[in-house]
Structure 1
Amino acid sequence: MADKGQSIRTPMGRVRGLGSAHSGTKHFWHQRLTAVAAIPLTIGFFIIMFSVIGRPHAAVTQTLGSPIVAIIMLLFVLTTIYHMYIGMQVVIEDYVHNELAKILLIMSNNFFCVAVGFVCAFAILKMSFGV
């Protein structure tokens, strides 16, 4: 056993107080959970999309305005965007070595995912409520 005075951390790590972020397992499980949840939601999304191909605008609007269809579409969009967010963050953290570029890319990833999520959710809710 090591003495309490001994540490495997570097002197710089002790000064900065840096250590394990304790979030790797959470991200790992969120990535797997969203991947599993996306399977039935993607199937539902494609069934909905293929059912409206070639139909008139009024029929498409009526189909996409259904509450159950809106719920499936919202869940699909939010799940896949969160899955994309986690995946891109991992890629950026693993493969971008310049700290400034890493910070800027992570911020861009956050803004992009939030913007896409809001635009998609707005479009689905607008069509669902018929406003």
Structure 2
Amino acid sequence: MTTKDTSLRTPLGQARGLGSAKSGFLHWRTLRVTALALIPLTIWFVIAVIAHLGAPLPELRAWIGHPINAALFILFIAIGLHHAANGVTEVYEDYVHGHHTKLIADLATKGLALFLGAAMIVSVLKIAILG
């Protein structure tokens, strides 16, 4: 004996909301936007590092103390760590199979990124404000 589907919903209506297409696009788009933002920031950072190779510490402190350089450095740190944490999370989603293991790895990655980001940003601000 078979049971008939008495639902008035269409097959598309029944399938809508199922599957993996819930937050995947947002995650994908965030990775692309942060990657695009990192292009000019990385170019700026590499040029700044090359320009200050061998510079004395007071000169480096003065450079970081400039508001534009401090702001760009903080953006580079924040966006870079956010991009890295999201990229590693994508690796976990693809290659780690246990739900709890995936959750712990994701929380550890985001926690480490948050801690490192806070420490680096506080360091930049300390140098920028106190000289």
Q: C-alpha separation between the residues in 2 aligned to 1:63 and 1:8?
A: 57
Is 2:5 the partner of 1:4? no
2:78 corresponds to: 78
SS at match of 1:4: coil
> Contact 1:74–1:124 at 8 Å: present in 2 too?
yes
CA distance in 2, matches of 1:72, 1:26: 25
Other-structure match for 1:107: 107
Larger-Rg structure: 2
Please report the TM-score for the alignment, with normalisation by the length of structure 2. Answer: 0.83
**CA-to-aligned-CA distance 1:43-86 (integer Å, 9 cap, x gap):** 11111212221111111111111111101101111111111111
Name 1:45's counterpart in structure 2.
45
Using the TM superposition, give the Cα deviation of residue 110 of structure 1 relative to its aligned residue in structure 2, in angstroms: 1.4
Map of 1:11-22 to 2, 5 A cutoff? Answer: 19-20=19-20, 22=22
1:32: how far off? 0.3
Q: Tell me the equivalent position of 2:24.
A: 24
TM-score, normalising length: structure 1: 0.83
- Does the CA contact (< 8 Å) of 1:70 and 1:128 recur in 2? yes
Amino acid at match of 2:65: G
Q: Secondary structure of the residue that 1:97 maps to in structure 2?
A: coil
Superposed CA RMSD in Å reads 2.3
Task: Assess if the C-alpha contact under 8 Å between 1:82 and 1:113 holds in 2.
Answer: yes
Structure 1 CA distance for aligned equivalents of residues 81 and 9 of structure 2: 45
* Aligned position for 1:88: 88
Q: C-alpha separation between the residues in 2 aligned to 1:85 and 1:21? A: 21
Show structure 2 runs of 5+ residues with no match: 1-6
**Bigger relative contact order (CA 8 A; separation at least 6):** 2
> Take 1:82 and 1:99, find their aligned partners in 2: how far apart are those partners?
22
Indicate if the aligned counterparts of 1:52 and 1:60 stay in contact, CA closer than 8 A.
yes
Q: Distance in 1 between matches of 2:21 and 2:116?
A: 28
CA contact (8 A) 1:48 1:69 kept: no
- Residue 19 of structure 1 and its aligned partner are, at CA, apart by 4.9
- CA distance, structure 1, for counterparts of residue 112 and residue 54 of structure 2: 32
Q: How many residues align structurally? A: 123
